[in-house]
């Protein structure tokens, strides 16, 4: 089967950083399903692993943690899917990724694809949707309630125009009664967040507390930081209420939360790979989550977050996608379709 892989941790400008290769088609068993990959999207996790995780000697690492496709075969213990089902998923960081014609995935972290979306539209969503949903509702334990009802509670989403933020703003607006303050720094990302329904948009290139003062915004109950957390940490403490909650998903080199002590601010990490990485008892929650989101999409409550379609799934186009993501200026998600 066709695949795209790497053997050495190289800058994306090097043609060998990602290469077109041929691998044997995997054999299905147990709780795995074999998916014919139709479309993928690219996440910051892809380039971070490419730069930092070496391949085994004479072996290939295949990246990719977002896909939509068709089930070709199922293992002997599979009960949730059958051949021919259209599926979407974000995969498992410990296994071969979705940048291949065929992929094995545990059924418990796979959902039935929304009927109303194309393969690339669907592939844009799983990783970011799971991340946003788990952070909001599992980690921060924000209550789902009738959207549009009055509320005095507010949430700040830092880096809201990216993949996770684009889903998170929609989930907050559609499934909670929180007021959303989102950050963006460019006209095109500001416009993107306005279309997604953010109540207020401030510039994260300025001190957050200055922006709150300039727009007469009160302190918030929740802060979610999706990138550059180290840069914003001091300001996050300033804009959070006492006993507020802070959630993050990125990889700060250090995280000094001592200043949070006086306000009793709690800190919540989210990594959507935790359930598959540790084979947790509630691993199937991701299957159920993806099915629930598929219904919300088919009911026109949520929409896809495709920002760019880079064409066919090959090494050249994936290098371009990695290069854009490394600039941290992407809007929405980058998708690729077909081999």
For each of the domains in the chain, give its residue range(s) and CATH number, in order of start. 2-125+279-337 (3.90.180.10), 129-269 (3.40.50.720)
Structure tokens belonging to residue 233: 């940490």
Which is nearest to 178 in space by CA: 161, 157, 204? 157
Looking at residue 148, its pLDDT comes to 59
Looking at residue 56, its pLDDT comes to 86
Helices (H), the chain: 44-52, 119-123, 126-133, 163-175, 187-196, 208-214, 229-239, 274-277, 285-298, 315-326
* Distance from the Cα of residue 312 to its chain's centroid: 21
CA–CA dist 75, 79 (Å, integer)? 9
Q: Is the pLDDT of residue 207 over 90?
A: yes
Looking at residue 145, its pLDDT comes to 82
Percent of the chain beyond pLDDT 90?
94
137 in Cβ contact with 101 (< 8 Å):
no
Q: Is the pLDDT of residue 239 over 60?
A: yes
Q: Which pLDDT band, with edges at 50, 70 and 90, does 150 fall under? A: low
Percent of the chain beyond pLDDT 70?
98
CA–CA dist 25, 2 (Å, integer)? 9
Which is nearest to 105 in space by CA: 281, 287, 282, 271? 287
Looking at residue 90, its pLDDT comes to 97
pLDDT in tens, 247-306: 999 989 999 999 999 999 999 999 999 999 999 999 999 999 999 999 999 999 999 999
Q: Which pLDDT band, with edges at 50, 70 and 90, does 149 fall under? A: low
Q: Is the pLDDT of residue 147 over 60?
A: no
pLDDT in tens, 86-132: 999 999 999 999 999 999 999 999 999 999 999 999 999 999 999 99
Q: Is the pLDDT of residue 232 over 80?
A: yes
Q: Is the pLDDT of residue 156 over 60?
A: yes
User: Mean pLDDT, to the nearest integer, of 320-325?
Assistant: 96
Mean pLDDT (the chain, rounded): 95
Backbone angles phi, psi at 206, to 5 degrees: -105, 160
């Amino acid at each position: 089967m066709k695949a795209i892989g790497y053997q050495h941790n190289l800058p994306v400008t090097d043609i060998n950083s990602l290469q077109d290769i041929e691998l044997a088609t995997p054999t299905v068993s147990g709780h795995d399903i074999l998916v014919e990959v139709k479309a993928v999207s690219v996440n910051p996790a892809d380039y971070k692993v490419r730069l930092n995780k070496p391949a085994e000697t004479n072996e290939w690492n295949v990246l990719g943690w977002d896909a939509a496709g068709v089930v070709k075969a199922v293992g002997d213990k599979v009960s949730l899917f059958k051949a021919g089902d259209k599926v979407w998923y974000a995969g498992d960081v410990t296994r071969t990724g979705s940048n291949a014609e065929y992929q094995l995935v545990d059924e418990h972290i796979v959902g039935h694809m929304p009927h109303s979306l194309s393969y690339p539209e669907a592939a844009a969503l799983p990783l970011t949707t799971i991340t946003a949903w788990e952070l909001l509702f599992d980690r921060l334990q924000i209550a789902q309630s009738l959207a549009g009802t009055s509320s005095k509670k507010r949430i700040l989403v830092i880096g809201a125009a990216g993949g996770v933020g684009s889903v998170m703003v929609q989930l907050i607006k559609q499934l909670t009664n929180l007021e959303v303050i989102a950050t963006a720094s460019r006209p095109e990302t500001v416009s993107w967040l306005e279309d997604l329904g953010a109540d207020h948009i401030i510039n994260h290139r300025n001190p957050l507390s200055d922006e709150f003062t300039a727009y007469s915004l009160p302190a918030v109950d929740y802060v979610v930081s999706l990138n550059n957390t180290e840069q914003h940490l001091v300001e996050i403490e300033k804009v959070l209420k006492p006993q507020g909650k802070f959630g993050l998903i990125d990889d700060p080199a250090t995280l000094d939360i001592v200043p949070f002590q006086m306000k009793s601010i709690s800190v919540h990490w989210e990594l959507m790979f935790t359930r598959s990485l540790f084979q947790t008892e509630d691993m199937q929650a991701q299957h159920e989550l993806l099915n629930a989101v598929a219904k919300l999409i088919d009911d026109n409550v949520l929409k896809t977050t495709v920002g760019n379609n880079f064409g066919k799934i090959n090494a050249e186009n994936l290098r371009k996608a990695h290069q854009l993501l490394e600039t941290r200026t992407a809007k929405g998600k980058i998708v690729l379709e077909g081999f």
